[in-house]
Amino acid sequence: MAVIINGDTGIDKITDGSIVAADIGAGEVTDAKLASTLDLSGKTMTYGNLPAANLTGSLPAGMGGKILQAVTDTKVDTFSTTSTSFVDVTGLSVSITPSSASSKILVMFSICFHASNAASGHIRFMRNSTMMVQPTSASSRPLAHGSHFNISQESNLSPTGFSFLDSPSTTSAVIYKPQIRSADGSTMYLNRTALDYDNGYYGRHSSTIIALEVAG
């Protein structure tokens, strides 16, 4: 039986790859007319930019836990603040848009921060405007993921690492970032010590965020 597509013999069109959307009439492609299995083994199928919102259903068995995308940001310059309220670190954040609301985000921070002499400060890690893994409130103690109290050693940086498998439950862009604050209005520094003398005792450092989308 001959296959006719838009008035032409379909075999020719299939062979030379010239089938276009206009060749297929409305209602011509239905579940009843398609085989139950489409074998694309060894083939590549492209459909322009398919929006994530148009992808529905569940991943095949064994796909859960796969890394779907990675986003990273690194700050190599310095930052400082005297704010006694938590403030964003300028130039250090990542924005990641999950492809599915069931995806999880593995977010990892490596931050170097330092307080002025005889001062202290704190750091916390955020998803948008929400603190992740918020500790239990403890009176006037600030809720943080890391703290630095500098008694007299102004050359010691306080490296802080933080990792968490987050469940944002959205397909909208999510921003992950650190925030730091001073406990008493003294200066808090990122990627440098308080004295920062130009000699071999005082190092400069970098801080990094990595966000990985993990299939749900």
pLDDT digit string, tens, across residues 136-167: 888 888 899 988 877 666 666 667 899 999 99
- All structural domains of the chain, each given as residue ranges with its CATH number in brackets, are 4-50 (no CATH), 67-214 (2.60.120.1340)
* pLDDT value of position 138: 82
pLDDT at 57 over 90: no
What secondary structure does DSSP assign to the chain, as a single string?
A: ---EETTEEHHHHHHHT---GGGS-TT-S-GGGS-S----TT-----SS--GGG--S-PPTT-TT-EEEEEEEEE-S-EEE--SS-EEPTT--EEE--SSTT-EEEEEEEEEEEE-TTEEEEEEEEETTEESSPPPPBTTBPP-SEEEEESS-TT--EEEEEEEEE----SS-EEEEEEEEESSS--EEESS-SS--SSTTS----EEEEEEEE--
* pLDDT value of position 1: 45
Quote the pTM value.
0.70
